[in-house]
């Protein structure tokens, strides 16, 4: 039985990875500063620890064969605008300590979740948003979160070239689904934010869109993200690989899809003073098709329906006395 460590298991993707690995027959040690507020852990061992501290990383990786490294100060457009230094400091500390602990404890393989934020912003006049893996260089990420991810990719690759530690790097593109943060002021991703705004609105009311609504993204449902991580982890690919949809959707279009799922009639207003991120970005899946003989389908309707229902349930339960 393979023994795996899932860090950041109290967070959105981490808690899904924990459940996915248990279904695959792994023995799982999960770790975070706190458990998920949305779902009970199913791990064999849940450890409360701070991986910014070297000793915690050494203890966490003891006896472990594979590591899925999701411990991080979460992204999200609000936090990347106001928590730049903290994000870079905390996340680099976690990964630097974790990688060295993996080396010293003889861990066999490590997965690092990078981000589409490593890519430069497309030209403002461009309608071509698909990002190939090689487009990350020459490097010019749009924010400090992207720079931190790109640096950490280099560190993971260096541990392979210098020490032979098997590393896998997936550049994730806007993953969404149940168990993600919900609530204004939290590290809320755009899909959950739209679902929350629509769910809280009544027929005939308006919802606010950050920016002008024309900024484009691709969205990846968590089930397809897990499949991509699993396939990459079990491949021989040591270079960064996109795990995302190659279908770009504007925020305006996505808001319309959420409204349609809700069955309500709502209007939209736009706040152009709020941060809106890169003008457009989606995944070029040429390499993942070649390397893994697989790529995400890009179909998001089922995932959107499940996410909307889950967000609505969370909002309703928070009103319960």
Active centre residues (catalytic): 145
Q: How far apart are CA 53 and CA 56, in angstroms?
A: 6
Terminal Cα distance for the chain, rounded: 45
Q: How far apart are CA 213 and CA 22, in angstroms?
A: 40
Q: What is the DSSP string of 217-286?
A: E--EEHHHHHHHHHHHHTSS--S-EEES-S--EEHHHHHHHHHHHHT---EEEEETTS----SB-EE--H
Longest dimension (CA), the chain: 61
Closest of 171, 111, 185, 97 to residue 141, by C-alpha? 171
Give me the count of residues in the chain: 321
């Amino acid at each position: 039985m393979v023994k795996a460590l899932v860090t950041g298991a109290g967070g959105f993707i981490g808690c899904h990875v924990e459940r996915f690995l248990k279904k695959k027959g792994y023995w799982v040690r999960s770790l975070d500063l706190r458990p998920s507020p949305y779902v009970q852990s199913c791990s064999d061992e849940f450890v409360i620890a701070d991986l910014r501290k070297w000793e915690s990383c050494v203890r966490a990786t003891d006896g472990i064969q594979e590591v899925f490294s999701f411990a991080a100060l979460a992204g999200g457009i609000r936090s990347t605008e106001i928590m730049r230094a903290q994000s870079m400091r905390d996340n680099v500390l976690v990964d630097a300590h974790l990688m060295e602990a993996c080396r010293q404890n003889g861990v066999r393989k490590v997965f690092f979740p990078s981000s589409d934020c490593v890519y430069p912003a497309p030209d403002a006049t461009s309608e071509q948003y698909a990002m190939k893996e090689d487009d990350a260089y020459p490097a010019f990420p749009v924010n400090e979160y992207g720079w931190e991810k790109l640096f950490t990719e280099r560190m993971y690759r260096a541990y392979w070239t210098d020490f032979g530690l098997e590393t896998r790097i997936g550049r994730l593109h806007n993953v969404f689904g149940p168990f993600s943060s919900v609530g204004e002021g939290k590290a809320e991703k755009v899909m959950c934010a739209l679902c929350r705004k629509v769910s809280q609105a009544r027929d005939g009311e308006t919802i606010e869109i950050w920016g002008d609504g024309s900024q484009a993204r691709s969205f990846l449902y968590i089930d397809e993200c897990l499949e991509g991580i699993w396939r990459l982890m079990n491949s021989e690919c040591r270079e960064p690989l996109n795990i995302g949809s190659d279908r770009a959707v504007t925020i305006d279009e996505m808001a319309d899809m959420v409204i349609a799922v809700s069955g309500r009639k709502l209007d939209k207003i736009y706040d152009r003073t709020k941060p809106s991120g890169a003008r457009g970005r989606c995944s070029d899946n040429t390499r993942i098709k070649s390397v893994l003989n697989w790529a995400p389908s890009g179909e998001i309707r089922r995932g959107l329906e499940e996410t909307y229902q889950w967000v609505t349930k969370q909002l309703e339960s928070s009103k319960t006395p």
